[in-house]
Amino acid sequence: MPPVGTPRIDIAWATGLFEGEGTMGVFGNGAKSKVTSMALIMSDEQTVRRFAAIAGIGSVYGPFNYGRGKPLWRWRANRTYDCHRLIRRMWPLLGDRRREQARPIIERALARGAKLQGRQSRAWVPDVFDGVE
């Protein structure tokens, strides 16, 4: 596993990487087929594995070879609560575009609060606690 440094530096590094290479949202049709997803895809396995170690959620898949260029590695997380928790850590450093992508995940997490293993009392709403750890 790649080395992980201090938490503040690591989350800043991971957020910057995610800003450039990541994507997130709630995808699918209809209420029952929607899936929360965060993903990061790159050709550098070590960088993807370091991101996964810092995120502390999700899994790394690969390599995938699409016939041209380097093989790709993918980190992906799909559990709503886990994604919400990672977004909370990254929020102060996220740009406007990624914050807009994050909002449906936050709304879904809050709407499913009763199903989030009793964590509803710890729910977080952006803009109320921005920058607070």
Give 10-residue mean pLDDT values along the chain (133 residues): 73 96 90 87 97 97 89 96 93 94 92 55 47 42
Residue with tokens 């995120």: 55
> Prior bond to 92 cis, omega within 30?
no
Chain CA centroid to CA 57, Å: 8
User: How high is the pLDDT of residue 113?
Assistant: 74
Q: Which of 38, 16, 15, 40 has the alpha carbon at shortest distance from 25?
A: 38
User: How high is the pLDDT of residue 78?
Assistant: 96
Residue ranges per structural domain of the chain = 7-116
Burial class of 87 by CB neighbour count within 10 A (0 to 12, 13 to 18, 19+)? buried
User: How high is the pLDDT of residue 104?
Assistant: 93
Q: List the structure tokens of 132.
A: 């607070």
User: How high is the pLDDT of residue 15?
Assistant: 97
User: How high is the pLDDT of residue 3?
Assistant: 56
Q: What is the pTM of this model?
A: 0.81
At 22, which helix (H) or strand (E)?
Answer: strand 22-27
CATH code linked to domain 7-116 = 3.10.28.10
